[in-house]
Amino acid sequence: MKKTIGLFLAGALTLAMTACSGATPAATTSGAAGTGKKALTDIVVGFAQVGAESGWRTANTKDIQDSFKTAGIQLKFSDAQQKQENQIKAIRSYIQQQVDYIAFSPVVQTGWDAVLGEAKAAGIPVLLTDRAVDSKDTSLYVTFLGSDFVLEGKKAGEWLVEQYKDKTDPVSIVQLEGTTGSAPAIDRATGFADAIKAESKFKVVASQTGDFTRAGGKQVMEAMLKSQKSIDVVYAHNDDMGLGAIEAIEAAGKVPGKDIKIITVDAVKDGMTALSEGKINFIVECSPLLGKQMIEIVTKLNNGETVPARIVTEETTFTQEQAKAALPDRKY
């Protein structure tokens, strides 16, 4: 019995201590904010980028760098070359340099608790951009700025519903999924399914993964064109798979955009070009241009204001006409 009480007390004590250590950095943060705002030009932000693996990512980097330059905020930039250890090193060096804010796009979802804990202990607020971390402790970061993949899927589905609103014939849809198990693939499928489920005429007759690549999209589409009796619509989780599907459709003697309608997500340059040429019918944007919103977040935090824990990127959609108009000014 005594032992039990002893254990209980020890547990309570540990809890109290954890609570204490949890409270201290929080106090520091608010203290820092309370000491008054810095001039924007005195702020230093450390940004740990994933790498430069795609056109999307390069546009993301360029936009962030340009936006900070325009706003006059000093930006320290590092490229992790798709490696978590590089990113952790970069974040540690930002902590040592005592930057005011740290922003980063996590390479992978897990394994950040230790280094983010260090940032928290040093009283440096952390912004997640584009990708989230999987941690139970949400106090490790201030906000997550990025796309809502479910919403993207939903926008794609809503456009389709609108296009076919006057028709009653069944609509056969094939879906080219992203990498199996990845967040965008799961969420874009969910959002799309939600948007079309109200009407029974929409049928997803086949759904396969094309791994977000052109080659994957092409090969899956080739097989589907032969195994499915009729295909009215292709919904691809990114532009690249849609571009692959276009080649397969053309090889089968059909006209992409007319015989088979194509909807994709991303709006990268090659996709937008195909959209303006009428080969794709609709693209839901997944914007890499996060710079402007990052500046807003930093400014707000600097003024001592609070920001929501989740901020969705400002994104639009493109029809063929809009693509023609937007293409000349497209940054990526």
Partner 1 sequence: MSGFFTRALSNRLFWPVVMLVALLVVNAVAVPGFFSITINADGHLFGSLIDILRNGAPTLIIAVGMTLVIATRGIDLSVGAICAIAGAVACSIILDSPDPGGLWTVTVAVATALALSLVLGLWNGFLVAVLGIQPIIATLVLMTAGRGIAMLITEGQILTVESAPFKFLGSGFIVGIPVAVIIGAVLFSLAALLTRRTALGLLIESVGINPEASRQAGVRARGLLFTVYGFCALAAGIAGLILTANQTAADANNTGLFIELDAILAVVIGGTSLNGGRYSLVGTLVGALVIQTLVTTVYTVGIPPIATMVFKAAVVTAVCLLQSPTTNAAFARWRDKLAAGRRVPAEAVAK
Question: In this complex, which beta carbon is closest to partner 1, that of residue 90 or of residue 115?
Answer: 90
Question: In this complex, which beta carbon is closest to partner 1, that of residue 44 or of residue 206?
Answer: 206
Question: In this complex, which beta carbon is closest to partner 1, that of residue 57 or of residue 120?
Answer: 57
Tell me how far, at minimum, the Cβ of 228 lies from partner 1, in Å. 9
Residue 6 has phi, psi (to 5 degrees) of -55, -50
Question: In this complex, which beta carbon is closest to partner 1, that of residue 82 or of residue 299?
Answer: 82
Q: What residue has token string 């005195």?
A: 42
Cβ atoms of 307 and 143 closer than 8 Å = yes
What is the number of helices (H) and of strands (E) in the chain? Answer: 11, 12
Distance CA 312, CA 147 (A): 5
Residues that bind partner 1 (CB under 8 A): 51-55, 57-58, 177, 180-181, 206-209, 211, 213-215, 218-220, 222-224, 226-227, 240, 244, 247, 251-253, 270
Tell me how far, at minimum, the Cβ of 54 lies from partner 1, in Å. 6
Question: In this complex, which beta carbon is closest to partner 1, that of residue 188 or of residue 214?
Answer: 214
Tell me how far, at minimum, the Cβ of 55 lies from partner 1, in Å. 6
Which amino acid would we find at residue 217?
Answer: G
The pairing of strands 282-285 and 317-319 is: antiparallel
Question: In this complex, which beta carbon is closest to partner 1, that of residue 224 or of residue 286?
Answer: 224
Question: In this complex, which beta carbon is closest to partner 1, that of residue 96 or of residue 228?
Answer: 228
Q: Which residues pair with 236 in a beta bridge?
A: 176
Tell me how far, at minimum, the Cβ of 78 lies from partner 1, in Å. 15
Which DSSP letter does residue 200 get? T
Cβ atoms of 260 and 232 closer than 8 Å = yes
The pairing of strands 317-319 and 171-177 is: unpaired
Helices (H), ranges, 277-326: 291-302, 320-326
* Contacts for 98 with CB less than 8 Å, ≥ 6 apart: 122, 124
Distance CA 92, CA 105 (A): 15
